[in-house]
Structure 1
Amino acid sequence: MRHLMLATLLSTIVPAAMAHASPDARADTGPLALDQVHLVDVEQARTSPPRCVRIEYGRLARIDDAGDPACLRAARRIDLGGRYLLPGLVDMHAHHTLGPLEIVGEGADMVVQALPDDAIAAHNARRLVAFGVTTIRNPGGDLAAAARYRDALALGALTGPEAFDAGPVINNAELPGLAVAVHDAQEMERVVEAQVEAGADWIKLYTGLSPALLQAGIDAAHRHGRPAVAHLDGVAWPDALAMGLDGIVHLMPLSPDLLDAPQRAAWQAGSRGATWSFFEWWEHFDPDGPGGDALVAAFERHRPVFDATLVAFHAAFVQDDPDNPYRTDARELAPARLLASWNGGFTFAMGWEPGDFVRARAIWTKVQRMAVRLHATGARMTVGTDMGNPWVAPGISLHREMQLLAEAGVSAPQVLLAATRNGAEALGAGTRLGRIAEGYEADLLVLDANPLDDITRTRGIHAVVLDGRYLDRATLDRFTGE
């Protein structure tokens, strides 16, 4: 389907994408040798002695000792002076084509929508690459927009990360551009089949689905050879995983079934719903109590793909501080249309009072504790940001997410493993992405210092290698400054 769409899209996407393309994004010709560089082994949590990495046709052709003649032969040599080479980063939760949440119409005709925007996708693409993000999963969005993005990458009209996409999230209510409604198992089957035919790599299920429809969605996804991922709160995660769910997003379990009877009664008596639940539920939940134990046991048994997206919630919890770093990130890096929407009030903290922010920050240690417990399981832990949502700026937010995980107590090697190899394997691309090994695709990050010692060192980017193209610091700065 994607290949058939290409010809019909040439007349529209190529001129628009070319207007944003940079000549620095073009592939270098001939072999490339990255010499005098330490390889960061995220699986063994160690670095190598100085090496030479030879890249040919976008792949790692050989890895030798530094200065090895076979590695350097007839190649463009780049002396990296003892820097560190890391696999490219994977953002497992990046709504890269998503436009702002908007209300259109009046009265009975009023509609909330979040339509795709190709200019926003191009803006996000370059900034993701500038921060070393070479692969993304889009867990919900317009598949036609996703196809236009992929075609632009294939044509060389745009520089950006490889994307694995879900279609619009499947829920009990419609939201044009982002969610499609289903009401019975037959409708679920038709929607899933249509998304797969349109190119969906994943099926995304949402919070409004009943347990029966959630099960129908999981089963339909599997019949069509696709994994199912879900954002859930009403259905308890252990129950959903027992249904065969492959992945869960957001560290917001929020199910009454994870609270004991007194906790549940107290929460339900005082709950205001909506995003107030982001902290009100946690006020009654003990991450080291029976509910936390149930989550850990379910993760150990079923080993789901999971991305916590702490950054999206932490940004909301500190939104009342005008000098918080997320506002700075957004001003410098977010697409203008999204920034205008967030400044206009469409945020996760919409309607919160000053006391709500105090309460939200007070429960943050519980969120951190649950993150640490889940990362200690054998589940397929990955790293995601929820890019496209309020204050989550492209690229930099993945580094903030990694730092939040480290601050919670997850070790730097564990975070790096989640952000590289685990992400690639979760996407079904672990045989070609996520490792520095011969035959793997050359998606790499050159760092000034060893990130195994300090996760914040992932921000010290000297260069990025994307599909074998060496993008130096000056080029990356142009990507963020456009």
Structure 2
Amino acid sequence: MTRNFSRRSMMVAGAATGLAGAAAALTRPVVAVAQRGGGTAFTHVTVIDPASGRVLPDVTVLVLGDTIADVGRHVRLDGATEVDLRGRFVIPGLADMHTHALAEGIDTGLYIANGVTTVREMAGSPLARDWRTRIEAGTLLGPRYTVGSRMIDGAPSIWDPKWLDVVQVDDPASARAAVREEIARGADFIKVYSRVPKDAYRALAAEAHRHDVPFVGHCPDVVSLEEVADLGQASVEHLFWTPFETSTKEAWIRAEIQRIRLGLGDYAGWFAALHPLEWTAAHTYSPVKARHLHSKLARRRVRQVPTLAMHRGLDFARTVDTNHPRDKYLPASALASQELAKQEFYLKNRKPSDDARWAAMFDHRLRTVHRLHEAGVPLMTGTDTGTLAVWPGFSVHDELELFVAAGIPPMAALHAATAEPAAFLGTRTGRIAPNHAADLVILDADPLHDIRNTQKLSGVVVRGRHIDAEERTRLLADVEHTAATTPEETVATGCPCHTG
């Protein structure tokens, strides 16, 4: 049985993963012999493989070590431990492609408990680097981490260096030097922020290419998305600037952006200056300009990470639930940091009478994501952990729900959380197929029927290790206990909001 994404999204999936051979491998009668014996066989399960768009009922997934050995209806177990998953569904491990480390004993456990087995850290956190080292050594249970550079912003940065370890550049020479320094520090990619000048951005792009290191992040205020695509930025985060080039008033908006003057640490000023321009762009939308821009983004395969969960928290900041049951998994100091950001950044100077306009802006963001998908622009799930009403692990499921609310079919939404991140990172994750990483999520209900069923987890497999329902419950209980007893000084310093 095949569940179609849409014509365009299937074309994108095929380009990213080479579907013809993979689909054949999944559907042929397979006789697999566990050469070394042992392993785990997950039997009588329905496999949902978003990379191919295939749904395979009543099959066995054979795992040897940290790898999927085979998938099919005729798999010889030969000493494997059998786990009967009759009536259940398996999808690949999920990815959060926009995260910020919060606290020891919190993030890693919540990711695994929620089936998030791949994480991209967007703020160069030493904490995330330490977790990755311990995870790779087998001394900490956690997801696969990719860790970027510190944030590279213009000078002055709109972030106060007391809050965040930010690198400030103001010309091509300082931008090139920043790239070299971050690579020397071990960054997997370079992260760009909002206020980088155009000439510095071009130099940063050239230097990153010279060292064959990807650069990702914000679209700098003074740079167009078209130029970002032409210069090879690998992914663009958030939806703040996406409407500008689809507006009939783009020239006026660009002129207004050039007039913005901000001091060091004036994030609230940046936020206040940008929103009226977003509003203008949303209400002067041009389908012709949108088709031109989206076509280029699709051709260049510039991944878009909309972070809709984050935008929902910001756009509904006054009414966001500040007493959510998930809050028990976060330390009090992390929740206090979110509340501070809410008051000092998002609601500062925002009148209650403006709330309807903010809500309407979120509707425009949903429409934008749908248009990007329809144009074949590759999307990836990311949440921006640390912002309002965003929780490690849990909010990937929120993001999937918002993708579907935007009009994206469930299979395509799952593709954005599995196969697309794997193609972007160049890893063996994101597929349920032989010779791929044994990162799986076991579900009690069909997510293609209702995407909210991704939240009905009965187990997780990470690097071949099966976390069953009982162990998952204990894992969540351990995180809750850690959150309740974590001293304030052990929480990662600084608000990570929009730092990637």
Task: Identify the TM-score tier after normalising by the shorter chain.
Answer: 0.7 to 0.9
2:301 aligned residue: 303
Distance 2:412 2:274 in 1: 26
Structure 1 counterpart of 2:223, from 232, 235, 238:
235
Structure 2 counterpart of 1:171, from 150, 153, 157:
153
Distance 2:250 2:170 in 1: 33
Structure 2 counterpart of 1:434, from 430, 433, 436:
430
Distance 2:67 2:40 in 1: 10
Q: Is the 8 A contact 1:51 1:65 kept in 2?
A: yes
1:78 aligned residue: 83
More RCO (CA 8 Å, sep 6+): 2
Deviation at 1:121, TM superposition (A): 4.4
Identity of aligned residues (%): 29
Deviation at 1:227, TM superposition (A): 0.9
Change (3 A) 1:267 1:194: closer
Deviation at 1:300, TM superposition (A): 2.4
Distance 2:129 2:254 in 1: 47
TM-score using structure 2 length: 0.79
Q: Does 1:417 align with 2:404?
A: no
Q: Residue 93 of structure 1 aligns to a residue in which SS? A: strand
Distance 1:181 1:329 in 2: 39
1:253 aligned residue: 241
Letter in 1 for 2:192: L
Q: Residue 408 of structure 2 aligns to a residue in which SS? A: coil
Q: Is the 8 A contact 1:241 1:302 kept in 2?
A: yes
Alignment of 1:51-200 (within 5 A): 51-65=59-73, 68=75, 70-71=76-77, 73-95=78-100, 97-98=101-102, 120-142=103-125, 144-172=126-154, 173=157, 175=161, 177-200=164-187
Letter in 2 for 1:137: R
Distance 2:393 2:83 in 1: 25
Q: Is the 8 A contact 2:250 2:281 kept in 1?
A: no
Q: Does 1:478 align with 2:474?
A: yes
Q: Is the 8 A contact 1:307 1:381 kept in 2?
A: yes
Change (3 A) 1:36 1:475: same
Deviation at 1:296, TM superposition (A): 1.2
Distance 2:271 2:325 in 1: 22
Q: Is the 8 A contact 2:225 2:245 kept in 1?
A: no
Deviation at 1:279, TM superposition (A): 4.5
Q: Is the 8 A contact 2:119 2:146 kept in 1?
A: yes
State which drifts further: 76-85 or 329-338. 329-338
Q: Is the 8 A contact 2:459 2:467 kept in 1?
A: yes
Structure 2: stretches of 5+ with no match in the other structure:
1-36, 261-267, 479-500
Q: Is the 8 A contact 1:34 1:77 kept in 2?
A: yes
Letter in 1 for 2:122: P
Alignment of 1:377-456 (within 5 A): 377-429=375-427, 432-456=428-452
Deviation at 1:149, TM superposition (A): 1.3
Change (3 A) 1:265 1:438: closer
Alignment of 1:221-232 (within 5 A): 221-232=208-219
Q: Is the 8 A contact 1:334 1:394 kept in 2?
A: no
Q: Is the 8 A contact 1:254 1:277 kept in 2?
A: no
RMSD of aligned alpha carbons: 2.6
Structure 1: stretches of 5+ with no match in the other structure:
1-28, 99-119
Distance 1:319 1:158 in 2: 35
Change (3 A) 1:277 1:414: farther
Distance 2:367 2:38 in 1: 49
2:14 aligned residue: none
2:373 aligned residue: 375
Q: Is the 8 A contact 1:267 1:284 kept in 2?
A: no
Q: Residue 369 of structure 2 aligns to a residue in which SS? A: helix
Q: Deviations over 1:332-365 (max 9, x none)?
A: 3334321111234556523122123221002222
Structure 2 counterpart of 1:293, from 291, 294, 310:
291
TM-score using structure 1 length: 0.81
Deviation at 1:278, TM superposition (A): 6.2
Distance 2:233 2:186 in 1: 20
Q: Does 1:220 align with 2:220?
A: no
Q: Is the 8 A contact 2:291 2:375 kept in 1?
A: no
Aligned residues, how many?
A: 424
Structure 2 counterpart of 1:357, from 350, 355, 360:
355
Distance 1:452 1:288 in 2: 33
